[in-house]
């Protein structure tokens, strides 16, 4: 089997045309939209753990942070407690050549388990440009693309700094005026001097504008640049004599991005704009359509393995989505949970489009209550806490969330997120975390 797993770092799903981004004169993702037409678009796909390191860990190993120990940045390999093989190890053991075009393994060595070839375009953790990544991927495909393989291709361009990463010819395609009506309300930042200072300092350091509409336009320019990179990957692969129709393609991201919504920027909470990411799968045996059920990153490993006829362990947190690739939808997942443990320590539980967010550590964001309820249909940016108005539902979801912790961690006493929040509250490293 031939598999290419493409991750576009920092890509929120609602910034792709196939997920409803249709308000700019120029399309942001015309090529990815054309690919989405060939396969299954997962409408409610959520990262399991955010930000970057825990997200890729859950994607590559099919287990959650609550099981594998990787919650945040700057963790050591000895903290990684997963004993089951990675996606790449599974494919390698079954005779596939495995390749990684990504800089992730520079600082997170468990993420390169099972990859025979590791190419690091560019020379920083937040890797090379879309052109460099595509060129590196094509070089690898030239050598190994004719036989069975598993290739991971990692684009970084939508990540901050937006302006520095953007190309002039792409900047011209999107005007800040097109985003003015949709730009987030900045009052949570502007009304809080400490938060405002942190926001100003961060954007100054990155050399990014302060106005969200300008950042949104740059963000989309960078997505469009990746879209063209993926187009070149397809065209280049075909020129190498590789039949793209024989390849199973997966397109996703590790987390989304905030532009000021509810007092957040970057990707350091677990609200929907951070945790909901695209997932598009197409290739041999996939029936085109849209999957409206909840799915999560932990489901990617069991799905790809099942499609390749590879047996996986029953201890995984994810389950195979192969039925969804055949148009069957019912009874897949009724609830999802996403955790975040960098700036804000949070757990979000979503059921029937109601999201309960438990914030265990908030730092200077005093406007956030411990437990908040949001209706994602009416309030996708999650700025209207309705927990008092819907007290019964809030209570039910709190019980469901506690049940989940008991099932997954063995009870509140073993809930690492709680321990991390306590340590953070009583440590003096907070100044580092607002960066
Ligand atoms: Zn990331």
What's this model's pTM, rounded to 2 decimal places? Answer: 0.96
Per-residue model confidence (pLDDT) at position 412: 85
Output the CA 199–ligand 1 centroid distance in Å: 19
Output the CA 217–ligand 1 centroid distance in Å: 19
Which residues make up the environment of ion ligand 1, defined by Cβ < 5 Å?
9, 52, 254
C-alpha 205/C-alpha 198 separation (Å) is 10
Output the CA 388–ligand 1 centroid distance in Å: 34
Q: Which residues pair with 100 in a beta bridge?
A: 118, 152
What token pair was written down for 405?
A: 């912790």
Closest CA to 304 of 61, 102, 66: 61
Which of these CATH numbers, 3.40.720.10, 3.30.465.10, 3.30.230.10, 3.30.590.10, describes 2-325? Answer: 3.40.720.10
Output the CA 133–ligand 1 centroid distance in Å: 16
Cis peptide before 161 (omega within 30 of 0): yes
Closest CA to 45 of 55, 33, 35, 54: 55
Output the CA 156–ligand 1 centroid distance in Å: 8
Burial of residue 405 (number of CB atoms within 10 Å: 0-12, 13-18, 19+) = buried
C-alpha 37/C-alpha 15 separation (Å) is 17
Output the CA 154–ligand 1 centroid distance in Å: 10
Output the CA 399–ligand 1 centroid distance in Å: 31
Output the CA 51–ligand 1 centroid distance in Å: 6
Domain residue ranges of the chain, discontinuous segments joined by +: 2-325, 335-434
Output the CA 103–ligand 1 centroid distance in Å: 11
Cis peptide before 51 (omega within 30 of 0): yes
Output the CA 223–ligand 1 centroid distance in Å: 14
CB 75 within 8 A of CB 53: yes
- Residue 54: how many other CB atoms lie within 10 Å: 29
Q: Which residues pair with 350 in a beta bridge?
A: 336, 355
- CATH tag, 335-434: 3.30.1120.10
Per-residue model confidence (pLDDT) at position 434: 39
Q: What are phi and psi of 282, to 5 degrees?
A: -150, 160
Output the CA 394–ligand 1 centroid distance in Å: 31
Output the CA 52–ligand 1 centroid distance in Å: 4
Closest CA to 272 of 22, 16, 42, 46: 46
DSSP sequence for 41-101: EEEEEE-SEESHHHHHHHHHHS--HHHH---SSS--GGG----SPPHHHHHHHTT-EEEEE
Per-residue model confidence (pLDDT) at position 363: 82
Output the CA 254–ligand 1 centroid distance in Å: 5
Residues 6+ apart with CB under 8 A from 354: 373, 374, 375, 376, 390, 393, 397
* SS3 label, residue 219: helix
Burial of residue 435 (number of CB atoms within 10 Å: 0-12, 13-18, 19+) = exposed
CB 53 within 8 A of CB 108: yes
Output the CA 19–ligand 1 centroid distance in Å: 20
Closest CA to 89 of 312, 388, 289: 312
Residue ranges for the chain with pLDDT beneath 70: 428-435
Per-residue model confidence (pLDDT) at position 431: 45
Per-residue model confidence (pLDDT) at position 159: 97
Per-residue model confidence (pLDDT) at position 428: 60
C-alpha 51/C-alpha 366 separation (Å) is 22
C-alpha 22/C-alpha 415 separation (Å) is 41
E strand intervals along 303-382: 335-341, 345-351, 354-361, 371-375
C-alpha 110/C-alpha 118 separation (Å) is 13
Residues 6+ apart with CB under 8 A from 98: 88, 91, 92, 114, 115, 116, 117, 149, 150, 151
- Most distant pair of Cα atoms in the chain: their distance: 61
C-alpha 297/C-alpha 285 separation (Å) is 21
């Amino acid at each position: 089997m031939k598999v290419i797993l493409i991750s576009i770092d920092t890509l929120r799903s609602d910034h792709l045309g196939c997920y409803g981004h249709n308000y700019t004169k120029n399309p942001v993702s015309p090529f990815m939209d054309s690919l989405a037409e060939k396969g299954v678009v997962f409408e409610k796909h959520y990262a399991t753990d955010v930000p970057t390191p825990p997200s890729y860990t859950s994607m590559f190993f099919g287990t959650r942070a609550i099981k594998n120990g990787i919650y945040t940045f700057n963790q050591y390999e000895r903290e990684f407690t997963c004993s089951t093989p990675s996606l790449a190890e599974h494919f390698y053991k079954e005779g596939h050549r495995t390749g990684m075009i990504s800089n992730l393994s520079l600082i997170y060595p468990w993420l390169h388990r099972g990859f025979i070839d590791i190419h690091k375009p560019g020379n920083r953790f937040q890797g090379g440009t879309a052109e460099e990544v595509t060129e590196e991927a094509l070089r690898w495909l030239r050598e190994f693309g004719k036989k069975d393989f598993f290739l991971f291709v990692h684009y970084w361009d939508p990540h901050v700094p937006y302006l520095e990463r953007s190309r002039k010819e792409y900047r011209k395609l999107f005007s800040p005026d097109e985003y003015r009506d949709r730009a987030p309300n900045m009052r949570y930042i502007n009304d809080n001097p400490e938060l405002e200072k942190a926001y100003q300092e961060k954007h100054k350091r990155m050399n990014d504008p302060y106005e969200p509409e300008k950042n949104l336009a740059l963000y989309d320019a960078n997505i469009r640049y990746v879209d063209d990179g993926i187009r070149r990957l397809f065209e280049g692969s075909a020129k190498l004599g590789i039949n793209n129709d024989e390849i199973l393609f997966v397109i996703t991201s590790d987390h989304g991005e905030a532009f000021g919504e509810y007092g957040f920027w970057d990707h350091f909470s677990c609200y929907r704009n951070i945790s909901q990411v695209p997932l598009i799968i197409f290739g041999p045996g996939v029936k085109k359509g849209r999957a409206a059920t909840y799915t999560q990153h932990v489901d990617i490993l069991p799905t790809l393995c099942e499609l390749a006829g590879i047996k996986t362990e029953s201890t995984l947190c994810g389950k195979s989505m192969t039925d969804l690739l055949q148009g069957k939808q019912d009874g897949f997942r009724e609830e999802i949970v996403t955790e975040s443990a960098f700036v804000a320590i949070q757990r979000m539980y979503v059921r029937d489009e109601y999201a309960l967010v438990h914030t265990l550590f908030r730092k200077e964001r005093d406007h956030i209550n411990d437990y908040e309820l949001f209706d994602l249909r009416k309030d996708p940016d999650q700025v209207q806490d309705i927990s008092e108005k819907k007290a019964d539902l809030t209570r039910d979801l709190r019980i469901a969330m506690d049940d989940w912790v008991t099932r997954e961690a063995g009870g509140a006493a073993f809930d690492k997120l709680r321990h991390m929040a306590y340590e953070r509250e009583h440590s003096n490293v907070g100044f580092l975390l607002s960066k």
